Each structure stands twice: as C-alpha cells, then as structure tokens.
Amino acid sequence: MLTASFYVGMARWRMSLDAITTLLVHRLEAQPTRITAILTPSYGVTMRRRSMLWPQHLHVAQKGCCFWCDQPLPLSRATIEHVIPQGEDGWPQLTRMEQLLSLRLSHATCNRDYAAWRAAQPADELQRMDQQLVRGIRQNIHVHPILRVYSYHHDYPGGREAQERMRR
C-alpha cells in the first residue's frame, strides 16, 4: 500500500484542479491571445516568455503556496512539480492540456521529497494513483468546453529549455 505522506487524494486533487481551471477559463475568456501562447506550441512567442506563463498561472491559482506543504512559495524559488512524472508510461499519452493541468509548483525540497517518496512506493499502486489523477484531469476538462478546444496539442509544457531549468 502507498504510504500517506505524498499520496494525492481525489478530494484534494479536484480542489486544486478547480482552482487552476477556473482561473484558466476566466483568462481564456478575458485575454485569449495571452493565454493561448502557453497552450499552443507555435504561437510565435519566445520560448523563454512562454516557459514562464504557466508557472505564473499556477502561482496565482495556488495562492502563492507550495502544492505539498502549503507554505508560502515565492515564484522565483518555485520548481515545477511533475505530479505525474514525465518519464513514466502515462505522460507521453497525455495531451498538452492534460500535461499542463498535471503540473504544480513546489519548493525544491518538497519536489525532491516527492520523488524520493515515489521511489519507495509499489509501482502498481503508483500507477493506480496516476491513473486516478489523469481521470480527474479529464473530467475537469470535460466540464469546460473551452478547455476541450485546446486539448489537441501534444508536446512538452514550456519546451526543453524550461524542462532543463525547472527540473529538480
């Protein structure tokens, strides 16, 4: 069985997803050109600028706090937390929108602790948790038609530069 410390329960995941997508839907409706830059890979925005837009969005949605410990987290010190790890089976099958909605901001130490926690958990249990998280993301997209429009793009959020810079 999974130990509890970093287990992402569905109630918590849904609450977090709601905060992110409510803000995202609001922004898509209010400022479509700005937010579209992070959702469509070839929008003519520099990679550097695009790689910061999503972390900024997450920072507001997370009320400036770390996803794991809920303590204040300045954006300048935030790391991108791949709650569903990039390297594993599920990630490449996610759309860009699904990938973006699976990301959170966390402290570097919390990020490392999560990776260590995962490394100590049974693989099949982790897979079950990840599948649940993906299901939650898909349900969340499904209730927002405007998000479905953007769900066709497949590539890595923020591009290679952001991956290298943000990865811990």
Contact residues for Zn ion, defined by CB under 5 A: 66, 68-69, 107, 110
Contact 103, 83 (CB under 8 A): yes
CB of 61 to Zn ion, least distance (A): 16
Contact 134, 90 (CB under 8 A): yes
Smaller CB separation from Zn ion, 67 or 150: 67
Nearest position to Zn ion, beta carbon: 66
Quote the CA–CA distance of 146 and 136 in Å, as a whole number.
17
Smaller CB separation from Zn ion, 21 or 79: 79
Smaller CB separation from Zn ion, 17 or 73: 73
CB of 26 to Zn ion, least distance (A): 26
CB of 8 to Zn ion, least distance (A): 14
Smaller CB separation from Zn ion, 82 or 107: 107
> Which distant-in-sequence residues (6+ apart) come within 8 Å of 168 by Cβ?
79, 108, 111, 112
CB of 67 to Zn ion, least distance (A): 7
> Which distant-in-sequence residues (6+ apart) come within 8 Å of 20 by Cβ?
57, 58, 61, 101
